[in-house]
Chain A
Amino acid sequence: MSGAQETGPFDTRDRDWQPPGFAPEYKSTALRSPKHALLRFPTTLSEETSPVFGHGMLGELDNDLIVNFAAEGEMAIGPRLVVHGRVLDEMGRPVPGALLEFWQANAGGRYRHKKESYLAPLDPNFGGCGRTITGEDGAYEFRTIQPGPYPWPNGPNDWRPAHIHFSVFGHGFAQRLITQMYFEGDPLIPLCPIVGVLKSAAAVDAMTATLDKARTLPMDSLAYKFDIVLRGRRQTYFENRSEGL
């Protein structure tokens, strides 16, 4: 964790930018979205604080989905990837010590879950989850395989673009966020009802990772860059640093 103790209220969430609870094209939202308007209040200490996740809790392979579930000497099947980026707040400041948890389907588009019934087979060497904690500069990185697209029950023939789920924990419970990362150039992105809950092209772009040729590992892995932005504190007090920012 950073030595700084940031306190102060978080800026209001932009609900016009974020998706609505109910989105008719994504059918599961019909019974799972509140009918009443959300009650808006300023953050309090309850939202301005959050638990601390230290790097010490991480195992060596937590951020390597290629091997973290594989048998000794084996590896997951699929195009090898490095996914990296930074976690920032809305003011552009890095968020060190942020916990990132990620999960995804295997290269055939199949999740390791007992309720999952897609035809594509499980990969015995792929669990599909990993985690890491950002460094002082907010940077993170993990290794995985390219997930496959898959069909899902919504409309008569809906397909999810290849994606990786991210759960993000910053420095305040108000920042708690789950999002999905898509891959630049995937033709399924504009056809997906779940992507489609976001109405602005800029929001879709913000969820789309770009190929990062400079970070590829030659003869080993492609690299994609995906930055994540959490809510920020408009006025930030650093209780134990007189120099402030």
Chain B
Amino acid sequence: MADTANVLKESPSQTAGPYVHIGCTPNFSGIAMFGGDLGAAMKTGPVKGEEITFCGTVYDGAGDALTDAMVEIWQADAAGLFASANEVRGAADAHFTGWGRSAGDMETGEFRFETVKPGAVALPDGRVQAPHITLWIVARGINIGLQTRAYFEDESGMNDLDPLLSQIADRGRVPTLMARSEAPGVYRFDVHIQGPNETIFFDI
């Protein structure tokens, strides 16, 4: 174990600007490059667990949908394991990347991921995180990427015990973190940057 002190400052964040899609999803932008856009497919073969569609729209303070955003998600597989080099609890589903990137629909801004419902994540200290998807949202006008999480409304038993959800003091805002089933296998998670239903954003 190395225990060290900060010697450098993190690079300052800057807005992704209006053209983040050129850099991160060039093919979506009409620039044929790299043989395809990264994060377009989260499943690379037959996957374990329940396959779901995870979709939503990011709204600004005027209630308008963002059409220039990029949404990335990162999640565990159906067994609660991450497809990461630093996952030390076991081997994740070999056909599931856990990471997705969406430029959103060109007209409506709706993001849509074909993924699997994540499993609960057992933390090394014995606590268990309820199934959730981590989101990171950037766009013009966002100076530093917005971090939030989508939990599943139909996992209320697990949600009640989640170490993060259970510590949120303003209980009235907790529903902003819930993805809701709107059809079999389809979960919607709309993000409101401002307004009466402002999503909880984290500094994690």
Binds A, one of B46-54, B107-115, B142-150, B153-161: B142-150
Which A50-91 residues have C-beta < 8 A from chain B?
A: 50-53, 59, 62, 68-69, 88-91
Check A39–B203 contact: CB distance below 8 A. yes
Check A131–B198 contact: CB distance below 8 A. no
Q: Does A46 contact B (CB under 8 A)?
A: yes
Q: Does A231 contact B (CB under 8 A)?
A: yes
Q: Does A123 contact B (CB under 8 A)?
A: no
Instruction: Contacts A17-B10, A46-B132, A128-B31 given; indicate if A102 touches B23 (C-beta within 8 A).
Output: yes
Q: Does A178 contact B (CB under 8 A)?
A: yes
> What is the bound-complex CA distance between A16 and B22, given in angstroms?
30
> What is the bound-complex CA distance between A203 and B68, given in angstroms?
26
Checking A93, A113, A131, A194 against B15 with a beta-carbon cut-off of 8 angstroms, the contacting residue is A194
Check A173–B136 contact: CB distance below 8 A. yes
Nearest CB of chain A from residue B162's CB, rounded to whole Å: 10
Q: Does B183 contact A (CB under 8 A)?
A: no
Q: Which of B7, B10, B97, B132 has the most CB of A within 10 A?
A: B10
| Chain A proximity mask over B45-82: 1 for CB below 8 Å, otherwise 0 | 00000000000000011101010100010111000001
Check B82–A31 contact: CB distance below 8 A. no
Check A52–B202 contact: CB distance below 8 A. no
Contacts from A to B (Cβ < 8 Å)? 1, 5-7, 11-15, 17-21, 23, 26, 28-36, 38-53, 59, 62, 68-69, 88-93, 97, 101-103, 111-116, 127-129, 131, 165, 167-168, 171-174, 176-180, 194-195, 197-198, 202-204, 206-207, 228-232, 234-239, 244-245
Check A35–B204 contact: CB distance below 8 A. no
By the criterion of a CB under 8 Å from any partner CB, how many residues of chain B are at the interface? Answer: 84
Q: Does B41 contact A (CB under 8 A)?
A: no
Give the nearest-CB partner of A8 in chain B: B1
**Neighbouring B residues of A239 by C-beta, 8 Å:** 86, 88
Taking A13-B203, A115-B68 as given, write out 11 further A-B residue pairs in contact, using a Cβ cutoff of 8 Å, ordered by the A residue number: A34-B199, A36-B200, A44-B164, A45-B76, A46-B75, A89-B8, A101-B38, A173-B136, A194-B14, A197-B14, A238-B1
> What is the bound-complex CA distance between A179 and B144, given in angstroms?
9
**Neighbouring B residues of A116 by C-beta, 8 Å:** 19
Instruction: Contacts A31-B194, A43-B204 given; indicate if A234 touches B4 (C-beta within 8 A).
Output: yes
Looking at chain A's contact residues, the main secondary structure is loop
Check B19–A113 contact: CB distance below 8 A. yes
Q: Does B98 contact A (CB under 8 A)?
A: yes
> What is the bound-complex CA distance between A204 and B1, given in angstroms?
34
Check B202–A38 contact: CB distance below 8 A. yes
> What is the bound-complex CA distance between A32 and B142, given in angstroms?
6
17 examples of A-B residue contacts, CB within 8 angstroms:
A18-B143, A30-B61, A32-B142, A33-B194, A35-B194, A44-B123, A50-B74, A50-B84, A51-B83, A97-B85, A129-B22, A165-B14, A176-B145, A179-B13, A229-B9, A237-B1, A245-B4
**Neighbouring B residues of A53 by C-beta, 8 Å:** 38
Check A21–B143 contact: CB distance below 8 A. yes
> What is the bound-complex CA distance between A139 and B14, given in angstroms?
22
Checking A7, A90, A172 against B88 with a beta-carbon cut-off of 8 angstroms, the contacting residue is A7
**Neighbouring B residues of A180 by C-beta, 8 Å:** 14, 17
Give the nearest-CB partner of A28 in chain B: B141
> What is the bound-complex CA distance between A206 and B9, given in angstroms?
9
Instruction: Contacts A32-B140, A51-B74 given; indicate if A19 touches B202 (C-beta within 8 A).
Output: no
Check A103–B23 contact: CB distance below 8 A. yes
Which B123-138 residues have C-beta < 8 A from chain A?
A: 123-124, 129, 132, 134, 136, 138
Check A207–B129 contact: CB distance below 8 A. no
> What is the bound-complex CA distance between A18 and B2, given in angstroms?
26
**Neighbouring B residues of A194 by C-beta, 8 Å:** 14-15
Check B86–A39 contact: CB distance below 8 A. no
Check B88–A18 contact: CB distance below 8 A. no
Give the nearest-CB partner of B136 in chain A: A176
- Closest 7 pairs (CB-CB, A-B): A103-B23, A28-B141, A32-B141, A49-B84, A31-B61, A38-B203, A51-B99
